[in-house]
A and B are shown apart, each in its own frame.
Chain A
Amino acid sequence: MNPLLLLRVHRGAVAVLALLALSASLLIAALPRGFEASYDDALHGILDVTSANVTDLTISLEPRAAEQHLTSMAGFQKKDREWREALPSSVTSVLQTRRGREGHFAAKTIGTPVAGRVGVDGPPQQYVNVGWVSGTEKRVRYVQGTPPGPPGVVARVPGYPDLQNVKRFDIALVKDAAEKMGIPVGTTLVLGNSRSILGRVTGVFEPVDASDHGFWDHNLDVLKVSIRRTAGSDIEEQRITGLTDVGSLSMLNGQDRDLMYSWVIAIDPSAVDTRNAPSVIQGVTDFQSYLDKGAGRVLATYAEIAQYAPYFLATGLGDLLTDFLRRLATAQALMFLILGGLATVATGVIALAVQLLSERMRPGLALARARGASLGQVVRVGAGTVALAVVPAVLVGYGLSYLLSGPVTPIVHLGPLVIVVITIVFAAARLAFTHRKPLQDRRDDVAIRRSSPRRTALELLIVVLALGGSYLLRTRGLATEVAAQGADPYLMLVPAALTVAVALITLRCYPYPLRLIVWLAARARPAVPFVGLTLAARARSVTALPVLILLPALAVSVYGAVVAGTLDSAQRLTAWQATGADARVDGQAEIPDDVIEKIRQVPGVRSIVPADKGTAQIGYGGRSAIAVAIDLDAYRRIVADLPLDVPPPAPGVAAPAIPALLSPDLAIHDTLDIGWHVRMKLVKRGVITGGLPGLSFAESNLIVLPYDAAKRAGLRTYTNTLLIDGENIDGAKLRAATGNRPDFLVSTFGEALNRVTKSPLTNTINGSFLLVTIALAVYALLTVVIALVVGATDRARALSYLRTLGLSERQAAGLTVLEITPLIVLTACAGLLLGLALPSALGPGLDLSVYTGDQPVRTYDLSLTTPALLAAGLSAMAIAGAYLHAMIGGRRSLGSILRVGE
């Protein structure tokens, strides 16, 4: 017996098995790669838009003790080497290695005020820090003057008789600062109100490449004048850092000025990925504690401890990655679930195909076994045939997965390997079980198999464990820190156990509803339903494997549909709450009537509800509240079919009082005197809870007035907000209608939705669910067809006998469909229920809020349409497969079928 010969003889079944193994291997190897790639894309998307001073590691020191002062670049370099050597290897592996971008170091004074200018008067409230940053020579271009030279000491300063022997530093300012702050080249600034120094402006520069974020993000104080309006005055503070020569380091020290040393160690965002992120977080923490433990300081006396300043590590990398991993954990858990479901189903279908092949090989192997083949020989030949079919197919699938770009994780190699191992082991076990005795001494004709009490107890145990597990998951949640340690296997175990439990229950209870239908069918005239359903009700025609395959297939699809539906509606709700209508225009000032008129002309705009929103003074004290003046009736009309809950307007009151809705914290007042445009007297006519969707998220300190409140109080109406009802309103056209003024903020529902759905990983989740659902539907179809083909011989014989009694071909096909339909329909119902139950079973394990703009997803959207359609579609496909099989099978001649197996 040669496996190759068997391969050739049973090429049909072998082809089915090989194809299934190929597709499973491809899916199992490619999907995780795709997932990982999209996780990384999402992470890089976040890192790319994050400023370098958040992602890079910045070590800073405010030197106090003289020993901490660094007077030359060599000192900085030495420290830089020290830090880099102390970095944990997990961080070292993600450092920027491009030449000239590895990082830099700097020494800058902090908050150095300009006390005056030598010879001229300058504007007040200016701050010019003196700073040296390594690597600026190549990054700046002098447009005026010369680069700063070495420092010096000035014996006397004209106009400042107190200043003697003061240090003078040459500095260069960025062109923007020189212009804004009015500091031309040649100006000498007196810096610092005490122990002053001189800053001589020798040059004005421009950055060579302002988009070199890796450098300038850390040194924005050099590039941009920061302006701050001081409280209680209309004078602006202007701050800038001037660049000085490296030689100045010898004279810059922390005793005269507040000085800050910093070392920037640049991170290469592209080197950080989801796999090394946890170790990077840990590495950053370790480095932090290394610095905290007094690294870089050699302390000999207690006095030194007091003097020595600590080194600080400033980086947002850890927090950024932690936050990302939190989002990722949900995505991973979801992927874990659907991939697990897919793998289960794929393995099940492969097992079914192995069953088909081994059934085909059985007569030959049984003969060989009877003629003197040992069990080992039979198993070797049979399993060898299966291996020959599966191994090349899996290898091809594995190879094809490399066409998809994406990082290679262990599961990419392990998945296909596991498929091969499971398939061969299953085949070997099945063959060994079938051929353990040379002769089948099963006399199923004598007595049907009754299930043993042991089996019943085991099944009961599984059901109890599954229910207990899901109860624990619901009440206790996940024990481990999901964000830190990735998806919890427990999360996977519960659905798996639930699926098995539901499958067992389905298999056990399956005959009972059928008996009722059979009882009814027996009373009807046509014979086909009765015979078909009776066949279906006989436990032997139901094999556990198809149920075990169909159930998770449906459960995962339905679960996917529920999650996708929930995500979609939660995202839409978030977007609606953000805009409050199809579009909205917020003006910082009043929106003129002509602008409103222009907006009315924008295509798609149906109606506009004007509103006025502002801060009202309550009484005459300091308390203020958000006041919104709006015609709630009109607003309710435009949000009638939206998921927004707008309260009805306050009932009218006698003029001149104005009816108002007050938030619960203000509701203690029956009347309220507020100042907003004009003094108004409000009468409480209702309480508004939960804010006003679209207009105010604030749930307290909120007052909602009629739109014409100000007019009633004797003034006129104001409008600074427009709520626009319409269809497909183009944000760009709306902006154009407002004259593209920066003080008008235009937002549309589409844009808001786009912002929420653009959240990284959302597309991955939706796309994966779709892909997996399609794959599962195909698998479900294959399951039914293969299950039917496995039992085709027996069925063909049974049907042939019936056909000799006058059953037509069409009736025979109907019989086959009826025989398989109850199983599919009942399994579909069970799968549907399981899929609908999974979200609540897994409730606390999965936090979807990270995909809905951080709006909590409290309840799952259990709309039945999509899941029911899915279940119905899958069932229809499976039943169509059965019908197809029956129609094709029915073409064979009666004689040939009746002789089968004789």
Chain B
Amino acid sequence: MNELDTPTELDTPTLSELEARATHERPAFGEHAHILCDNLVRIYKTEGVEVVALQGLDLLIEKGELIAIVGASGSGKSTLLNVLSGLDVPTAGVARVAGTDLLAMTARDRLRYRREVVGFIWQQTARNLLPYLTARENAQLPLRLAGKRARTSRADELLELLGVGHCAGRKPNEISGGEQQRVAIAVALANSPQVILADEPTGELDSENSEQVFAALRQANRELGVTCVVVTHDTLVSEQVDRTVGIRDGRTSSETLRRASSDGNIIAEEYAVLDRVGRLQLPRDFTNALDMERRVRLELERDHIGVWPDKARSEDTE
């Protein structure tokens, strides 16, 4: 408020100042983010019935990040991942991955995007690999499909890196579920993608195998610098990543950041997400506890904003 009092600010800007301000590009929302979702909407429409799977989702992920996305069944996690992997097209909003605008892509761009930018892993181990190809052949497949020379050494290196080098000559039904998922990660990495998307990669595995698979993901993230987005229910996974994004009803609702404290413990702090236009999702537990409905009262304090139930008003109406 004090700044407003300064006479310079009250001065009418000169024309040149206005021109400079107009031409000066302000950094756009998440301009430098590796993955950007801004007000992303995905609506499934079948014969007149609409289902809104994503209802204006915002998400920023930096390059080289390993994040987990959690949420209840039907919250839109898988839809988000399908959009990011280029398998699905959002209805509206902005989705940009590694500089590629996912809404403005032609079919050819989309194919190139899948071939060069992203790799992904599904929950079902059987769905990730072709059952009649060996692990090595599976890992070579994306290269072959992209029309590149499929070097055996590249596939073997990847399998070796992920600790499944011994499975290279075996078919999926000859190796364990955990190994299958690690081979699947190798397949996803085969094209040297910038982003890896994993949809519940440990969903079908026991804790020991889950750990190995997650370790493989983290290894890929650290050693190859690949951005990893993991959708998961598995607390083992969500508690080990730097950032966990919660999705509710097609919107990002919360974020949990983890950092190491000075004594070496991991401190997790959960934040609510404030979107670009200032919307905030209050946790349902909170609103239920205070019986908040429809309207709340906000009060701006010096260092925070207070949220009060609209009691007085509801008494008035009664």
Contacts and interface: CB of A to CB of B under 8 A. Distances in A.
Nearest to A10: B132
B132 A449 contact: no
Contacts of A476: none
Interface string A413-443: 0000000000000000000000001110111
B181 interface: no
B155 to A, nearest CB: 14
Contacts of A654: none
A157 interface: no
A447 interface: yes
A377 B130 contact: no
Contact of A373 (B44, B128, B132, B145): B145
Interface string A436-470: 01110111101111100000000000000000000
A162 interface: no
A267 B187 CA distance: 77
A446 B44 contact: yes
Interface in B92-111: 107, 110-111
A437 B82 CA distance: 12
B47 A447 contact: yes
Contact of A442 (B46, B88, B130, B141): B46
Contacts of B120: 370
A377 B108 CA distance: 13
- Interface hub of B46, B85, B88, B146 (most chain A Cβ within 10 A): B46
A446 B51 contact: yes
B52 to A, nearest CB: 12
A9 B145 contact: no
Contacts of B201: none
A651 interface: no
B88 A439 contact: yes
A439 B146 CA distance: 18
B47 A370 contact: no
A368 B88 CA distance: 16
B142 A371 contact: yes
Contacts of A450: 47
Contacts of B133: 5
A438 B46 contact: no
A45 interface: no
A363 interface: yes
Contacts of A439: 82, 87-88
A372 B114 contact: yes
A438 B142 CA distance: 14
A448 B187 CA distance: 36
Contacts of A367: 127-130
Query: Looking at chain B's contact residues, is the secondary structure mostly helix, strand, loop, or mixed?
Result: mixed
B44 A364 contact: no
Interface residues of B, number: 32
Interface string B119-148: 010001011111011000000011011100
A884 interface: no
A36 B128 CA distance: 56
Interface string A368-405: 10111111010000000000000000000000000000
Nearest to B51: A446
A8 B131 CA distance: 13
Contacts, number: 67
A819 to B, nearest CB: 25
B44 A372 contact: no
B111 A372 contact: yes
Contacts of A441: 44, 88
A367 B132 CA distance: 13
B63 interface: no
Contacts of A539: none
A869 B85 CA distance: 58
A364 B130 contact: yes
Interface string B238-257: 00000000000000000000
Contact of B141 (A1, A443, A902): A1
Contacts of B48: 447
A441 B42 CA distance: 11
Contacts of A444: 46
Given A372-B111, A374-B111, A449 B141 contact: no
- Interface hub of B124, B129, B132, B191 (most chain A Cβ within 10 A): B132
A902 B124 contact: yes
Nearest to B86: A438
Contacts of A8: 132
B115 interface: yes
Given A439-B87, A447-B47, A368 B145 contact: yes
Contacts of A442: 46
Contacts of A372: 111, 114-115, 142, 145-146, 191
A445 to B, nearest CB: 9
A371 B114 CA distance: 6
Given A442-B46, A443-B44, A446-B44, A368 B124 contact: no
Contact of A443 (B46, B86, B124, B146): B46
Contacts of A375: 107
A450 B49 CA distance: 11
A843 to B, nearest CB: 44
A34 B144 CA distance: 50
Given A446-B51, A447-B46, A449-B47, A371 B87 contact: no
- Interface hub of B51, B128, B144 (most chain A Cβ within 10 A): B144
B131 to A, nearest CB: 8
A443 B111 contact: no
A902 B122 CA distance: 11
A370 B51 contact: no
Contacts of B49: 446-447
Nearest to B116: A372
A456 to B, nearest CB: 14
Contacts of A902: 124, 126
A448 B146 CA distance: 37
Given A374-B111, A443-B51, A368 B141 contact: yes
Contacts of B191: 372
A360 to B, nearest CB: 11
A450 B46 CA distance: 9
Contact of A5 (B110, B126, B132): B132
B141 A371 contact: yes
Nearest to B133: A5
A446 B130 contact: no
Contacts of B115: 372
B105 to A, nearest CB: 12
A437 B141 CA distance: 19
- Interface hub of B107, B111, B129 (most chain A Cβ within 10 A): B111
Interface string A785-807: 00000000000000000000000
Nearest to B143: A372
A513 B134 CA distance: 52
A376 B87 CA distance: 17
A377 B145 CA distance: 8
A373 B48 CA distance: 32
- Interface hub of A1, A374, A377 (most chain B Cβ within 10 A): A374
Nearest to A366: B127
Contacts of B142: 371-372
Interface in B126-182: 126-130, 132-133, 141-142, 144-146
A370 B88 CA distance: 10
Contacts of B145: 1, 368, 371-374, 377
B141 A438 contact: no
A380 to B, nearest CB: 12
12 contacts: A1-B144, A5-B133, A364-B132, A368-B145, A372-B111, A439-B88, A441-B44, A443-B44, A446-B49, A447-B47, A449-B46, A449-B47
Given A363-B127, A439-B82, A446-B49, 6 more contacts: A5-B133, A370-B120, A375-B107, A438-B110, A442-B46, A448-B47
The 10 closest A-B pairs by CB, nearest first: A372-B115, A439-B87, A447-B49, A447-B46, A373-B145, A9-B132, A372-B145, A438-B87, A372-B114, A371-B142
Interface of A: 1, 5, 8-9, 363-364, 367-368, 370-375, 377, 437-439, 441-444, 446-450, 902
